[in-house]
């Protein structure tokens, strides 16, 4: 039989799927016609008998099983091969296919090459088919249902072989899918490892941004220490200590919203701005104002809101004075040598917003006297807002009380105690936010 002599009738209620299948078959050189349901197909069969019928099972008016049964019960059409398009999700599908006399199964969604090979097998077997003997039926019960099976061995063998072939094909597809998943899992592991390596490198780089050696002022007039904890590999807290002169020290601390890569990138920007505006660093209000203006310009390009709280202070050893400005940051604690502990004063109306929100915000420079034996503790809100039982925060009051009790401790030991107590206060004994704590001791004032 030549290719052009082959005529295939498609019975499919989905116009899209019918057109797709028609295109595949016509590409093979076969003539194709279509019907939208079983009844329409029977009408078409009254006019012309095709070489082969390919029918979907689930259709309105008349389903594929009934159409196949009607074809096989018709003396003029009973040798017309019928291929069922099915999900083949239940063993009953096979029995119903055998019962209605179907010649082959093709599982949806189907591979085009597999479908074409099935069609060619059916066409090749047309000459080998024997007619079923009249009344030669077998009754089979399965899953509580009775099936009447016509004992045409050739047709049933074709159908069972096609079912087995489908199972083999699905198993091969599953094997290929498993191999693909294993390959993708391997690639994902490699990418995760690379990402972890990149994050580790970024963490090392971020750590290098923090001071490892503190500047010296008037001999040993000031001593510094710090504790830093990142909630993830990369943190959003940053601090710096730098010399403005032999008697003036600049101390900066900030806390970027959130944590992780985005926060870390912003701390890198802020670090650059700290260096850029060093020439005006003697005036804390001006320093934060210029930094805020530039940061707002940079963040205009970002669709995601970003901001940072900050404290910047200048310790003037020659005049025994601390000049400072605050941008929405927790007030540092000033511990006097006589056990007096209090937050730095922020007068009403002077409390400012964070950096990166209001471009033209004016930050005020405030003043506080300092003397030999005083201790200043700067920290980010991850310390005082550490969450404990009943969603209560560690809080400023607990922090002040711990500092008051630890007045006799060296600043480094006091910082360790503060970190340990706040951590133990939390439900999981772990900080959920980044924490930065900086301690400064005024050993003596400079001689004027």
Q: Within this chain, do residues 353 and 221 fall inside the same structural domain, yes or no?
A: yes
- Is residue 187 a part of any domain in this protein? no
Residue 114 pLDDT > 90: no
Q: Within this chain, do residues 166 and 226 fall inside the same structural domain, yes or no?
A: no
Residue 322 pLDDT > 80: yes
More confident residue, 289 or 217: 289
- Domains contained in the chain, number: 2
Average pLDDT, the chain: 85
- Is residue 447 a part of any domain in this protein? no
DSSP strand pairing (52-56 vs 7-11)? parallel
Least confident of 93-97, 234-238, 295-299, 334-338: 93-97
pTM value > 0.85: no
- Is residue 426 a part of any domain in this protein? yes
Q: Within this chain, do residues 225 and 368 fall inside the same structural domain, yes or no?
A: yes
Of the residues 161, 180, 199, which one is the last residue of a structural domain? 180
- Is residue 205 a part of any domain in this protein? no
Q: Which residues of 312-332 are buried (b: 16+ CB within 10 A; e: fewer)?
A: bbbbbbeebbbbbbbbbbbbb
Range of the domain at 331: 210-442
β partners of residue 137: 150
Q: Within this chain, do residues 303 and 408 fall inside the same structural domain, yes or no?
A: yes
DSSP strand pairing (31-35 vs 321-327)? unpaired
Predicted pLDDT at 316: 96
Residues 152, 143 contacting (CB under 8 angstroms): no
Q: Within this chain, do residues 410 and 334 fall inside the same structural domain, yes or no?
A: yes
Q: What is the DSSP string of 192-209?
A: HHHHHHHHHHHHHHHHHH
Residue 408 pLDDT > 80: yes
Q: What is the DSSP string of 73-140?
A: HSTTTTTS-EEEEE---SHHHHHHHHHHT--EEEESS--HHHHHHHHHHHHHTGGG--PPPTT-EEEE
Q: Within this chain, do residues 304 and 382 fall inside the same structural domain, yes or no?
A: yes
CATH of the domain at 221: 3.60.40.10
Least confident of 23-37, 121-135, 164-178, 309-323: 121-135
Residue 161 pLDDT > 70: no
Q: Within this chain, do residues 349 and 278 fall inside the same structural domain, yes or no?
A: yes
Q: Within this chain, do residues 217 and 168 fall inside the same structural domain, yes or no?
A: no
- Is residue 50 a part of any domain in this protein? yes
**What does the alpha-carbon distance between residue 49 and residue 33 come to, in Å, rounded to a whole number?**
11
Residue 227 pLDDT > 90: yes
Q: Within this chain, do residues 162 and 283 fall inside the same structural domain, yes or no?
A: no
Predicted pLDDT at 358: 87
Instruction: Judge if the upstream peptide bond of residue 94 is cis by omega within 30 degrees of 0.
Output: no
CATH of the domain at 16: 3.40.50.2300
Q: Within this chain, do residues 313 and 258 fall inside the same structural domain, yes or no?
A: yes
Average of pLDDT values for 410-417? 95
Q: Within this chain, do residues 135 and 28 fall inside the same structural domain, yes or no?
A: yes
């Amino acid at each position: 039989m030549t290719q052009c002599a082959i005529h295939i009738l498609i019975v499919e209620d989905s116009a899209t799927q019918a057109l797709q299948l028609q295109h595949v078959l016509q590409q093979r050189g076969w003539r194709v016609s279509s019907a939208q349901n079983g009844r329409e197909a029977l009408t078409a069969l009254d006019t012309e008998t095709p070489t082969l019928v390919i029918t979907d099972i689930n259709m309105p008016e008349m389903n594929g099983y009934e159409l196949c049964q009607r074809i096989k019960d018709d003396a003029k059409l009973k040798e017309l091969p019928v291929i069922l398009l099915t999900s083949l999700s239940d063993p009953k599908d096979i029995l119903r296919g055998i019962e209605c006399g179907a010649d082959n199964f093709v599982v949806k969604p189907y591979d085009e090459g597999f479908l074409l090979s099935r069609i060619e097998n059916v066409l090749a077997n047309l000459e080998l088919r024997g007619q079923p003997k009249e009344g030669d039926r077998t009754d089979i019960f399965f899953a509580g249902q009775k099936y009447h099976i016509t004992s045409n061995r050739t047709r049933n063998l074709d159908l069972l072989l096609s079912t087995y072939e489908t199972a083999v094909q699905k198993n091969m597809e599953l094997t290929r899918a498993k191999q693909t998943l294993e390959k993708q899992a391997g690639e994902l592991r490699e990418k995760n490892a690379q990402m972890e390596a990149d994050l580790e490198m970024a963490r090392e780089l971020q750590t290098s941004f923090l001071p490892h050696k503190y500047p010296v002022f008037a001999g040993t007039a000031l001593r510094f220490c710090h504790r830093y904890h990142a909630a993830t590999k990369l943190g959003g807290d940053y601090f710096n200590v730098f010399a403005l002169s032999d008697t003036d020290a600049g101390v900066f601390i900030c806390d970027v919203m959130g944590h992780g890569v985005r926060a870390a990138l912003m701390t890198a920007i802020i670090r650059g701005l700290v260096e850029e505006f060093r020439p005006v660093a003697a005036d804390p209000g001006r320093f934060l104002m210029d930094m805020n203006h530039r940061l707002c310009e940079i963040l205009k390009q970002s669709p995601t809101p970003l901001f940072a709280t900050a404290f910047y202070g200048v310790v003037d050893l020659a005049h025994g004075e601390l000049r400072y400005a605050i941008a929405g940051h927790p007030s540092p604690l000033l511990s006097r040598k006589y056990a007096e502990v209090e937050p730095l004063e922020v007068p009403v109306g002077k409390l400012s917003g964070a950096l990166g929100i209001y471009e033209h915000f004016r930050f005020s420079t405030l003043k506080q006297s300092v003397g030999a034996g005083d201790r200043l503790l700067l920290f980010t809100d991850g310390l005082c807002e550490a969450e404990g039982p009943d969603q209560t925060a560690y809080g400023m009051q607990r922090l002040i009380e711990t500092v008051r009790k630890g007045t006799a401790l060296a600043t480094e030991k006091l910082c360790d105690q503060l970190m340990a107590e706040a951590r133990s206060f939390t439900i999981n004994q772990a900080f959920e936010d980044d924490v930065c704590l900086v301690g400064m001791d005024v050993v003596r004032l400079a001689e004027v």
